[in-house]
Structure 1
């Protein structure tokens, strides 16, 4: 049987929201415990250049998260490399179970589990995951030097992935189901000016094709949403960049939700439908979804947790 560890504030998640919550909770002398989860550092660890973090004209995503973790640790946050597989919010102290076998109990919980990549949900996509199909250009782009690749999507993520892949690939085809992109204009300008990029407008993916021995992608079939015409696109890699969904698995049946599965919080607060449970970052933010706003919400969550605990003590 594993150990039991109690803390006044348990922070679940380790992106900008989680680490910032750790900094502020530590400064409030709450001695928080932060459980990093399956992807320490969150989505920024699979991001290359971050150009909109205040004070840094450009910084690599993984480097920023290393700095944030070090800051949280330096001021007193206990950072633990574990994954919370179960969370009971039905009574206080709240109880979380880690994959390590450790049971965590807490007087207050800050949820900062972020979001996870969306997939197309196709059988052929599942077949080639890890063998030519990826949701992370930063992780896998290096393997496609001198090859043709495809990026699927039309938002910031898709354009950033496509631009990053031009460093390695000989050609990048961006496939989008509409005739305009949703990404920031500055990113669109860079994309349109890049000679390695070709855009296939008004198309959806019909099937990803490849070999079985060895298993590997060779291309895909794309359907024109207006005419139904099929276009064959040769590619060794297919990168899915169609956004993310909130990682709400631990709490979707316990907390009140907004449309899209985002945890609902009170206006002007990070308080959820259960007193003592707070949510920050992409888990609750369906509008801005930026690293800096996540960090701000992490600060708010820590301050909200401090006030909650002070009132409980009174």
Structure 2
């Protein structure tokens, strides 16, 4: 049976941005409702050791950090619902009695005076079985998050765009050597970034090649290398590495909002500079769904705080 719920603040997504928005919204007595989506905790649920989130002297587990954020949000008064939005009406002419309308997979309807979109983004993967199995055990999609664990080790970066080049350059601060593997014979990154990469003595490039498998071994199982194929000659080879960083881009989770809210050319939600305000007055976006530059838990949490404060201000102005 369909039920309709009314809330001052609806938060869509349960990563660092969503949970932080819920904490600030609840403390402001907005009585926020947070819909978790299909992956409560977001990308941190597949991150084992987190060493760069302030406040913890020792490494913590990503899933544990998300559990703590969820518990904190509940403790201060946020309502957390295990459900996903299936469709919504965000355009101003479609607002019903001053509310934005959201339908969920669970068959319920939420009417919200303001909403915070914190649905995050997902790294693009190669689609290899070993890739999923070894996430957190040598396979990563974030050099800034995990590069520290490869001090003095050899790593591979897969990709040829700005993200891949930036990841490779960053990893040289930790790894003994970085091998960039690209399926073409030229990079797509900005010229200045290409020049920096090609001039770095700690980086080598393997051109015209794709990763056919990620090799592993040991107890516990960990990455030991990658198997490659040259797409021009079909020649096969392998290289020994301790870590593999997939850097072929991210996909923001915005398909639900296409045609209703302004997105950029890569489908990230556009926000006004210095704010989390979207193209729709009363709708805010926080975290990786609008941030393709930093993509860190701490910056996502910060933008979740901003979104809640801006939503509170919006509600005060529209009362």
TM norm structure 1 = 0.74
- Tell me what 2:181 maps to: none
Please list every run of 5 or more consecutive structure 2 residues that lacks an aligned counterpart in the other structure. Answer: 179-202, 215-225
Q: What's the secondary structure of 1:270's corresponding residue?
A: coil
Q: Deviations over 1:252-281 (max 9, x none)?
A: 221112232111111221111111100001
2:230 aligned to 208, 223, 227, which one? 223
Structure 1 residues 246 and 254, CA gap change in structure 2 (3 angstroms): same
After superposition, residues 1-314 of structure 1 pair within 5 angstroms as: 1-57=1-57, 58-90=59-91, 91-92=94-95, 93-120=99-126, 125=127, 131-134=129-132, 137-138=135-136, 141=137, 155-156=143-144, 159=147, 163=150, 174-177=156-159, 182-183=166-167, 187-192=171-176, 201-203=205-207, 205-206=209-210, 208=212, 220-223=227-230, 230-233=235-238, 241-242=246-247, 243-313=249-319
Kindly state the Cα deviation for residue 135 of structure 1 after the two structures are TM-superposed: 7.8
Structure 1 residues 69 and 247, CA gap change in structure 2 (3 angstroms): same
Q: For the residues of structure 2 that align with 1:252 and 1:22, how far apart are their CA atoms?
A: 24
Kindly state the Cα deviation for residue 183 of structure 1 after the two structures are TM-superposed: 3.1
Kindly state the Cα deviation for residue 204 of structure 1 after the two structures are TM-superposed: 5.5
Structure 1 residues 209 and 115, CA gap change in structure 2 (3 angstroms): closer
Q: For the residues of structure 1 that align with 2:62 and 2:166, how far apart are their CA atoms?
A: 22
Kindly state the Cα deviation for residue 62 of structure 1 after the two structures are TM-superposed: 1.1
Kindly state the Cα deviation for residue 209 of structure 1 after the two structures are TM-superposed: 7.0
Q: For the residues of structure 1 that align with 2:50 and 2:228, how far apart are their CA atoms?
A: 33
Structure 1 residues 184 and 8, CA gap change in structure 2 (3 angstroms): farther
Q: Does 43-52 or 104-113 show the bigger shift?
A: 43-52
Please list every run of 5 or more consecutive structure 1 residues that lacks an aligned counterpart in the other structure. Answer: 142-148, 165-170, 211-218
TM norm structure 2 = 0.73
- Tell me what 2:187 maps to: none
Q: For the residues of structure 1 that align with 2:134 and 2:261, how far apart are their CA atoms?
A: 30
- Which of structure 1's runs of 4+ aligned residues deviate more than 6 A? none
Q: For the residues of structure 2 that align with 1:255 and 1:292, how far apart are their CA atoms?
A: 25
Kindly state the Cα deviation for residue 240 of structure 1 after the two structures are TM-superposed: 7.2
How many residue pairs get aligned? The number is: 275
- Tell me what 1:216 maps to: none
Kindly state the Cα deviation for residue 234 of structure 1 after the two structures are TM-superposed: 8.9
